[in-house]
Structure 1
Amino acid sequence: MSQTLCPYLSFGTNTAEAMTFYQSVFGGVMMSNTFGEFGTEGPDGALVMHAQLETDAGFTLMGADTPSFMERKPQGGFVVSLSGDEAEALKGYWEKLSDGATVTTPLEKQMWGDEYGSLTDKFGVEWLINVASSS
């Protein structure tokens, strides 16, 4: 038996665009279903009911649009954090996530010895990246 803990992001109507962007950042395989595939008609039928990205690094990221018959609950009160000692990979994620983002803290060496940065990406998701020092 296994278990997984992963972020499930709520988007207005741009989940397909956001999840495609995250796939370009992290790689991996994405699956997606629309509300229309489960019987919803009209404009809401084209919206993403569930998208899931599984990466080779073991990350899972999920997301969904908000159709007109549901209340939109925007992101808030949490941040997606990436950390580890694989500096090249983490810095690569930072560079890609930075495209169109608002950088809160530049990715640079901090007083605790690690490289750390934070940003809000172009879809409104907040990210923290911490690259553990090798010493």
Structure 2
Amino acid sequence: MSVKAVTHLNFRGDAGEALAFYRSVFGGDVAVVTYEDAGNVQDPAEADQVMWGQVSTDSGLCVMAYDVPSNMPWNQGENAFFVSLRGDTTDEITEYWEKLSEGATVLRSLAAAQWAPLYGMLRDRFGVTWVLDVVSEYGAS
């Protein structure tokens, strides 16, 4: 088994710019999936915003980012980041989900998603938002 925790930064419309900046600082590769790429456009004005993005380097540094949709609350000082926990297997992620969910508020139930075999989001009893998923290759259509 292999699991990795990654800082997941939240923005309101400038995640792409932030990812480009972090790449200029750290080098590495940038991967971006827009809401349009994923077929998850809620507001046409936000279609080109980042639904999922990351900068990853050969040295192991990884930073993820996304643009919080306008229909969701966002306050830079309150929910500027998530902890993203990514694993190789559904069993592994399910085990962590079950433990983290004790006393938590489930924001999105752990289930298959268009972009991952398993994905879920919760706010633990300490107020930390966790995004858990099983790593998969994303194939934009």
Give the Cα separation in 1 of the matches to 2:67 and 2:30. Answer: 15
Higher relative contact order (CA 8 A, sep 6+): 2
Q: Which residue of the partner structure matches residue 125 of structure 1?
A: none
Contact 1:54–1:61, Cα closer than 8 Å, also in 2: yes
Alignment of 1:1-135 (within 5 A): 1-39=1-39, 40=41, 42-76=44-78
Give the Cα separation in 1 of the matches to 2:8 and 2:78. Answer: 12
What amino acid sits opposite 1:34 in the alignment? T
Give the Cα separation in 2 of the matches to 1:68 and 1:22. Answer: 24
How far residue 48 of structure 1 moved from its aligned partner, in angstroms, is 0.4
Normalising by the residue count of structure 2, what TM-score does the alignment of the two structures yield? 0.50
Normalising by the residue count of structure 1, what TM-score does the alignment of the two structures yield? 0.52
Give the Cα separation in 2 of the matches to 1:51 and 1:77. Answer: 17
| Structure 2: 5+ residue stretches without partners | 82-141
Contact 1:9–1:75, Cα closer than 8 Å, also in 2: no
How far residue 75 of structure 1 moved from its aligned partner, in angstroms, is 4.7
Deviations 1:106-135 (A, max 9, x none): xxxxxxxxxxxxxxxxxxxxxxxxxxxxxx
Distance change in 2, residues 1:6/1:66 (3 Å): same
Higher Cα radius of gyration: 1
Deviations 1:5-60 (A, max 9, x none): 11100011100000000001111111110111222151111110010111111111
Distance change in 2, residues 1:75/1:19 (3 Å): farther
Q: Figure out how many residues of one structure are paired with residues of the other and give that number.
A: 79
How far residue 73 of structure 1 moved from its aligned partner, in angstroms, is 4.0
Percent of aligned pairs sharing the same letter: 33
Q: Which structure has more strand as a fraction of its residues?
A: 2
What amino acid sits opposite 1:17 in the alignment? E
Give the Cα separation in 2 of the matches to 1:38 and 1:70. Answer: 18
What amino acid sits opposite 2:16 in the alignment? A
